[in-house]
Amino acid sequence: MGLRFRRLSLLNQALVHRSYMQTAKPGSVKGDNETMEFLGDAILGLVISEELYRLYPVSEVGELAKVKAQVVSRATLGEIASGMGLDQWILLGPGETAHGEGRRTSVIGSTLEAVLGALYLDRGLVPTARLIRRLFQHQIKAVEAGDLAADYKSLLQEYVLRYFKAAPEYRVIEESGPGHRRRFQVAVGWRGKSYGQGVGPSKKMASQEAARVALEHLLAPLS
């Protein structure tokens, strides 16, 4: 990362997955990285939000929230963390190591957030924000150029898993039109409640539209 930690114990803890605690020797580590991940997630959100505000000061908050969700998605975090080689340093339990959990996007991305939290505790906001801008410069430039394509299904999946501990379910509620001009209406929801519907010439496109509508619904209080 091009940075030196003053307190290496903070960095070490940021690399400890909760599974490692099950077999770690007593006193060998202070704890896992989940609270640091929580802190790092907040700091990452703050810095990226500031960058988006700078780029689009008059945009609606709901739109900015959707762009932010793309920039800091688990896929993006995992890609950046893998590029740093962070997966080589994560401390996992024996079972998780055997099954390659350290290469999972969610695990690597969460570890990157924990490292950012540790850096904040060690060096403060300014160096941490500088690192975040450097690591995410490609994604930020993509936003500026308008090249950040929206995958609403992936964004909704991540949002619902994180905040509702559930998975979105899609179902076709209507199919009409001749074979060469089919029209699909798809609904998406979870836990017995519908959050959005979409229409399109294919199930895939209708599902994307339903996911977009659901995100609009979820983020409406922010706008």
* Residues annotated as part of the active site: 41, 113
Q: What residues have CB less than 8 Å from 104, skipping those under 6 apart?
A: 78
Q: What residues have CB less than 8 Å from 71, skipping those under 6 apart?
A: 48, 52, 136, 139, 140, 143, 148
For residues 190 and 211, is the Cβ–Cβ distance under 8 A?
Answer: no
Q: What residues have CB less than 8 Å from 97, skipping those under 6 apart?
A: none
Q: In terms of DSSP H, where are the helices of the chain? A: 8-14, 34-55, 61-71, 74-83, 94-98, 105-123, 125-135, 137-145, 152-164, 203-219
Q: Which two tokens stand for residue 164?
A: 């509702």
Q: Which two tokens stand for residue 145?
A: 């150029």
For residues 170 and 193, is the Cβ–Cβ distance under 8 A?
Answer: no
